[in-house]
Amino acid sequence: MSTTLEYKDLTKEAPRSPRERVGGYILLGRAIDKGRATLAGKNGEYHFDCPLDNYLFGFKEVKGSDVKALLEKGATDEEVVAWLNANGAAKTPEEIAEFGKNVEGYRPYDDPEKREWFVGEATKSGLDPAKVTLLDWLEVDDKQSYQS
């Protein structure tokens, strides 16, 4: 592991798309970007170990604090993937792919506990909350957050 912490400055640019897979895991690249930026004090409005990150961490049955400890040591994306594959709940490539498919299709509008929040957020972004997924909204929100 590297002793130099390389990070995205999330006060100036968005983390990776939540759709971008790292080692097959959806959400992981984004979580890594937020974790590294948090350690560098450059996370802006983004939060590591948030409910979205914990959806992935819960799937693997690992703790965000353990992932953060890896990032503190300068772990590369590949080292985080290797750690995830060796720790927590064992998952087959098929289970990882199915998890990714489910995350991509998740529509908070269909979730009674999330609907009101999502309607407000999606509408602010100019989206029809009944037609978009959480990841659709996150990507639009990221772009809108960094428009000049």
Q: Look up the pTM and report it.
A: 0.93
**Low-confidence stretches of the chain (pLDDT beneath 50):** none
pLDDT tens digits, 67-108 = 999 999 999 999 999 999 999 999 999 999 999 999 999 999
| Three-class SS of the chain | CCCCCCCCCCCCCCCCCCCCCECCECCHHHHHHHHHHHHCCCCCCCCCCCHHHHHHHHHHCCCHHHHHHHHHCCCCHHHHHHHHHHCCCCCCHHHHHHHHHHHHHCCHHHCCCCHHHHHHHHHHCCCCCCCCCHHHHHHHHHHHHCCC
| pLDDT value at residue 41 | 96
pLDDT of amino acid 147: 75
